[in-house]
Amino acid sequence: MRRPGQPTRARASRRSPGSARLRSRPWHPARGRGRLPADTLRRVKRRRLGSSRALASGIVASVLVAFLGARAAPPDVASGESAGLPPIVDRAPLAPPGTSLRRIQDEGVLRWGVDPAGGAPFAMPDPSDPRRLVGFEIELVERLCEHLGVRSEPVPADWLALIDNMKAGRTDLALNGIEASAERARVVDFTAPYYRYGEQLTVRAADRERYRSLDDLRGRRISVLNGSAAVEVLQRAGFRESEIVQYDDSLAPYVELANGRVDGSLAESIIAGYYAASMPELYSIPRTFAPGEYAGAVRKGEHELLAALDAALARMKADGELGRIYQRWGIWSAEQEQLGIVRGPDAEKVALASAASTSGLAWGPVLRELAVATGATVLLTAIAMPLAIVAGLGLALMDRSRRSALAWPARLYIQGVRGTPLLVQIFLVYYTLPVLGKTIGFGDALVWPAFAVGILCLAGNYAAYEAEIHRAGLEAVPKGQREAALALGMTSRQSLRLIELPQSFRIILPPILNDLVAMIKDTSLVYVIGVRELTAVALGLGKARLIVPQMLVVAAVFYLVVSVLADALGRRLEARLRRRGTPSVPLEPGHPHSGALPAQ
């Protein structure tokens, strides 16, 4: 029986002689707080912080790899030689120093914006080799670059953000089915037009006698591509906003029409000829109307680059080079002669000029490319999630602080990030932040690679949620644990690092693993800034060959496999922590709390 004043004997630990596990009930020494021996603290730090240091080192190394390797080799593109065009002899002269054209010539590369995820037949992944981009605009820009004496480097981005991406300084040219309009001309300079199109109305084949013109569809819902000239055409024709159904890619309007959700679809004739002509359940009314023109876009004031592009386009029009490319892709029409484009000699039509069949799809390379894209998805998660956990812990500690200068910024960040969509945050950081940096004089300091922005946004968004999880976990640790640590002479920081955090980690591990699986799926959002992750590759191939459902099923299987593996890894970690038991602090032999009497 213990006498009053006698210290509570702790049960001896099996891990090492002379060590003990603390009970939750503290002992208060009569002579005030002492301090643990230095050797004991060093051993505790080695045991508790060794894995944390390794994790931190891995995070730092991964982030460096992401920033330095984000500008990986761009996708291969078709060359002018593959189009059967003669080599260029007369190239553009060297531009004056200090101009954007001179910089491009010195670097030897022209970076231009394109959306391969939904750009057929303009630009799309080659079904036989998904790493290679094909399309009539791919060949067009490649030929332009040959005239300029530089190499073509397509920079993927969402179609609606191509101009914003160029204004941010990531590209020097935006050329991807962009209609030259007066509204856009206020923010960019357009090159000479390179293609003339007309709007074409498509209806279901069963309604071809019922709907013969746009007037017959008044009061009906019509699907269009978001941001395209078709939206303005319908608005001028008197259609209400509720009757104009906008989608983010060229294929979706026709799929919705075939499924009966809308009664018509309006798009440029080149788009209708590729998608609607490949779907037998649809019928495109032959007559086109509301003609328009495609042109390339450059930043305001870059006159030398604009003049060089116009000169190269003029030569391509006059020599029949452009007409030959259009013939190869089945988009030549008599209207192109109005732009001064010479048809040139006959050219054999490429098989990819139509999306009618999937015969050109090689599943072996496709599955390999999807596996590589899955690796990018896993890498995004593997880097962003640890960063989110660490940042979330910092936010939780700031939120629990008694200092308003620390607590309020953390609370504002948590509420602000949790109250805005992740997609909006990605757009703000990738497109708006660089423009803001240039405005306030930071130059290109805020122009970051797409992969790094994806990591930053995922980590920053999930850090707000992890902060609340950390806060709940710390509050779930019994207060007696902290009191016992302080009674043993530990400082508040030592108690937090060695006693409270290890116990809270066991409590918060299940919700953190749940967020890990959620982040694996949320990585699909970064495809809007051109990251070639799983969703971007699957959609690009699916839209090019009208097999979006099949490709999404394959992508879902890849996501499921990765999620199941992540969940299994988390459960194994939980089981390992359960086997290790509760945290323990090894004490020196002879310490009053070690359970052994001091040596005589």
pLDDT digits (tens, 9 = 90+) for 411-467: 999 999 999 999 999 999 999 899 888 888 887 888 899 999 999 999 999 999 999
Q: How far is CA 217 from CA 223, 263, 283, 426, in A?
A: 12, 8, 15, 38
Q: Is the pLDDT of residue 83 over 80?
A: no
Q: Judging by beta carbons within 10 Å of its beta carbon (0-12, 13-18, 19+), is residue 229 exposed, middle or buried?
A: buried
**Preceding amide of 121 cis, omega within 30:** yes
Q: Which CATH number fits domain 362-580: 1.10.3720.10, 1.10.510.10, 3.40.50.300, 2.60.40.1180?
A: 1.10.3720.10
> Are the beta carbons of 157 and 118 closer than 8 angstroms?
no
The confidence band for 489, taking pLDDT boundaries of 50, 70 and 90, is confident
- CA dihedral over 17, 22, 28, 32, signed as positive or negative: positive
- What is the secondary structure of 495-537 as a DSSP string? HIIIIIHHHHHHHHHHHHHHHHHHHHHHGGGGGGGT---HHHH
Q: CB neighbours (10 Å) of residue 213?
A: 11
Its sign, for the CA torsion 67, 68, 69, 74, is: positive
Nearest to 432 by CA among 451, 449, 446: 446
Residue 101 has which token pair? Answer: 């054209």
The band of 145, judged by pLDDT with boundaries at 50, 70 and 90, is very high
Query: Of 17-26, 312-321, 391-400, 524-533, where does mean pLDDT reach its minimum?
Result: 17-26
Q: What residue type is assigned to position 337 of the chain? A: E
Which residue, 296, 319, 338, 315, is CA-closest to 198?
Answer: 338
pLDDT reading at 283 higher than 90? yes
pLDDT band at 297 (very low <50, low <70, confident <90, very high): very high
- Beta-bridged to residue 298, according to DSSP, are 189
The string over 275-314, giving b where at least 16 C-beta atoms fall within 10 Å of a residue's C-beta and e elsewhere, is: bbbebeebbbbeebebebbbbbbbbeebebbbebbeebbe
**Cα torsion for 339, 176, 141, 69, to the nearest 10°?**
170
> Of the candidates 458, 457, 462, 454, which has an alpha carbon nearest to the alpha carbon of residue 533?
454
Taking residue 240's Cβ as centre, other Cβ atoms within 10 Å add up to 11
**Taken in order 424, 425, 428, 430, is the CA torsion positive or negative?**
negative
User: Given a cut of 90, is residue 81 above it in pLDDT?
Assistant: no
Confidence of residue 587 (pLDDT cuts 50, 70, 90): very low
Of 299-303, 420-424, 538-542, the range with the lowest mean pLDDT is 538-542
72's torsion region: left (phi>0), alpha (psi -120 to 50) or beta? beta
Tell me what pLDDT residue 55 has: 44
The sign one gets for the Cα dihedral 520, 525, 529, 534 is positive
Question: Which tokens go with 174?
Answer: 């935006």
Residues with Cβ < 8 Å from 525, sequence gap 6 or more?
422, 423, 426
Residue 138 has pLDDT above 70, yes or no: yes
| Two tokens, residue 227 | 């941001």
- Helix residue spans in 131-181 (DSSP H): 136-148, 162-167
Long-range pairs, 591-594, Cβ under 8 A, ≥24: 591/36, 591/37, 591/40, 592/7, 592/27, 592/29, 593/7, 593/8, 593/10, 593/20, 593/22, 593/27, 593/488, 594/10, 594/18, 594/19, 594/20
Distance, in Å, from the CA atom of 105 to the CA atom of 456, rounded to the nearest integer, reads: 33
pLDDT digits 0-9 by tens, 189-220: 999 999 999 999 999 999 999 999 999 999 99
- Is the pLDDT at 128 greater than 60? The verdict is yes
% of residues, the chain, pLDDT over 90: 51
Which helix or strand (DSSP H or E) is residue 368 part of? helix 363-400
Lowest mean pLDDT among 316-325, 361-370, 477-486, 501-510: 361-370
Q: What is the mean pLDDT of residues 500-517?
A: 90
| Residue 206 DSSP SS3 | helix
Residue with the larger pLDDT of the pair 254 and 35: 254
Which one, of 179, 409, 192, lies nearest residue 294 by Cα?
179
Closest CA to 175 of 68, 313, 55, 269: 313
**The CATH number of the domain covering residues in 195-293:** 3.40.190.10
Confidence band for 250, pLDDT divided at 50, 70 and 90: confident
DSSP code of residue 117? T
The pLDDT, as a whole number, for residue 275 is 87
Q: In terms of DSSP bridges, do strands 297-299 and 188-190 run parallel, antiparallel, or are they unpaired?
A: antiparallel
Question: What gap in Å lies between CA 35 and CA 306, rounded to an integer?
Answer: 74
Is residue 116 helix, strand or coil? coil
Determine the Cα–Cα distance for residues 181 and 166; give it in Å rounded to an integer: 17
pLDDT at 74 over 80: no
Quickly tell me which residue has 């990531």 as its tokens.
Answer: 170
The percentage of residues in the chain with a pLDDT greater than 70, rounded to a whole number, is 80
CA distances (Å), origin 46, targets 53, 54, 389, 584: 10, 12, 21, 13
Task: State the pLDDT at residue 85.
Answer: 67
Q: How many CA atoms lie within 13 A of 252 on its CB side?
A: 13
Residue-wise pLDDT for 97-112, tens only, equals 989 999 999 999 999 9
pLDDT of 22 reads 37
| pLDDT of 53 over the 70 cut | no
d(CA 341, CA 319): 8
pLDDT given for residue 496 in this prediction: 85
With beta carbons less than 8 A apart as the criterion, state whether 567 and 514 touch. Answer: no
Compute the C-alpha angle 343/344/346, nearest 5°: 100
Q: Do domains 76-191+298-353 and 362-580 have the same CATH topology?
A: no
Decide if domain 76-191+298-353 falls under CATH 3.40.190.10.
Answer: yes
For residue 548, which of 120, 230, 77 has the smallest C-alpha distance? 120
How many other C-beta atoms can be found within 10 angstroms of the C-beta atom of residue 570? 17
Confidence category of residue 41, pLDDT binned at 50, 70, 90: low
Q: Which residues, 6+ apart, have CB-to-CB distance to 436 below 8 Å? A: 446
| Domain ranges for the chain | 76-191+298-353, 195-293, 362-580
